Amino acid sequence: LRSGETFTGGSFGAASATVGETVFTTSLVGYPESMTDPSYRGQLLVFTQPLIGNYGVPRRTRDSYGLLKHFESERIQCSGVVVSDYATKYSHWNAVESLSEWCAREGVPAITGVDTRALVHILRGQGSTLGSLSAGAQPLDTASIAWVDPNADNLVAQASTDDIRVFNPAGDVHVALIDCGVKYNIIRSLCDQGARVSLVPWNHDIMANLSAYDGIFISNGPGSPTHCTETISQLRRAFAVYQRPIFGICMGNQLMGLAAGLNAYKLRFGNRGHNQPAVDLTNGKCVITSQNHGYALDDSVMPEGWARYYVNANDGSNEGIRHLEKPFRSVQFHPEAKGGPLDTGYLFGEFVDSVRAAKQAGLAATLSEDISASAQAATA
């Protein structure tokens, strides 16, 4: 760690070295999904679950939308992996390779035999810290490490798509999904609800063709939201004129908050895991959520027209915002939960239903105007 602590262990990934922000997740299962989550880009991922790798790595099967079923992107996104006990033998009917083989093939260093409890105590005490992971025969020269903070870069730009991609083209409503580092299950969840999804780059000029979209969705993503000035500007302009539903997840929540006038701050060690409680402030219901973020909105003073939507029951941090008049909402957690609990999957249904209702209302209004205009013409 940059703070001076050193941990040694055995290598089970690529024989290489890397630097990243050292963070931890309390997830008990789902390491293939976590490691391929773009929100972990640039990070050394510490698993608090002691035994990792026991069910191997699944085959790269794709669903009807062309998305990988068991991974959240096309490759491993974290810069390195740290575990207490790597399972050298795996057993699962769908596994095709070991975690070690996967990491080595994708050039990701990994270390086992680390006292992850002690490491997590350090991270909880001093906050997420830059770390260097070196695997190989050469000893680590701590004096020569080039400490580079990945959060200083626009990681969203690195994780986002370069081109517009369309999923489920036969869907009855058209949703623009702003890709800040989207997880595949977000795309899948929207498509499963019957939406046609246009995945657009993080800095896409959404205003140029705003009327073509029945709804707008902003995805999760890595790093600091303050780098995404173009996205924030686009959302701020959309808030002023758009009357249809807008929804954001994780990074999407932060970008909507910044566009509304809130500020974002870095959490000491973030919230990453599958067991984070969030309270819906509209009805007092507490849900257990999957989360992966290191930044949060400062909602101590809400802008005019906006209200807090969800709050974290553990640390009181913001878990969502909503507009009081327009159909704009966002959540900090992951309702698509891949992996994690399924408590909040209903939010996708609510969003697409609201998009569908807004579209039908717009068509009804247009039809009424056409009938009125025709009647006036006939009378004249």
Sort strands 215-218 and 173-179 into parallel, antiparallel or unpaired: parallel
Peptide bond into 339 cis (omega under 30): yes
195 touches 176 (CB < 8 A): no
| Cα–Cα distance for residue pair 369/380, rounded to 1 Å | 17
| Ramachandran sector of residue 127 (left: φ over 0; alpha: ψ -120 to 50; beta: rest) | left
Tell me if residue 334 is catalytic: yes
Tell me if residue 286 is catalytic: no
Query: Which of these is catalytic: 250, 293, 319, 323?
Result: 250
| Cα–Cα distance for residue pair 373/348, rounded to 1 Å | 37
| Cα–Cα distance for residue pair 167/184, rounded to 1 Å | 11
Tell me if residue 204 is catalytic: no
| Cα–Cα distance for residue pair 185/68, rounded to 1 Å | 9
Which DSSP state fits 64?
T
168 touches 145 (CB < 8 A): no
**Positions marked catalytic:** 250, 334, 336
